[in-house]
């Protein structure tokens, strides 16, 4: 039974990691002036899936600013936590 639960949890974490990578790519594309209805639809979906997990972490670790550049530490922490959890589950 635990094997099935671990397998499902591993796949859910893998899908979550893929969506986070997609969010990162789309956010960079928007930052670099990419426009288009598809870009905004993908961005909305990626944010809807990942923001409920990232938002509580962001309250503890706010983004760090370096002049005009910002580093979202919460995204980085959640991304690496998902990678570590996936490796533990599998």
| pTM listed for this prediction | 0.83
Residue 3 CA to residue 51 CA, distance in Å, equals 29
Residue 21 CA to residue 88 CA, distance in Å, equals 20
20-32 tens-digit pLDDT? 999 999 988 877 8
As a dihedral over the C-alpha atoms of residue 73, residue 56, residue 23, residue 48, rounded to 10 degrees, the angle is -170
Per-residue pLDDT at 56: 95
Residue 5 CA to residue 89 CA, distance in Å, equals 9
Domain definitions of the chain by residue range: 2-89
pLDDT bucket at 90, cuts 50 / 70 / 90? confident
Per-residue pLDDT at 66: 83
Closest among 77, 81, 74, 82 to 58, alpha carbons compared:
74
Higher pLDDT, 74 or 37: 74
Average pLDDT in the 66-85 region?
A: 90
């Amino acid at each position: 039974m635990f094997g099935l639960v671990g397998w499902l949890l591993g796949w859910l974490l893998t899908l979550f990691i893929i969506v986070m990578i997609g969010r990162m790519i789309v956010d960079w594309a928007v930052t670099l002036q990419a426009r288009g209805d598809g870009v905004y639809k993908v961005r909305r979906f990626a944010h809807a899936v990942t923001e409920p997990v990232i938002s509580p972490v962001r309250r503890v670790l706010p983004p760090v600013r370096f002049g005009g550049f910002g580093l979202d530490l919460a995204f980085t922490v959640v991304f690496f936590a998902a990678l570590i959890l996936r490796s533990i589950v599998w």
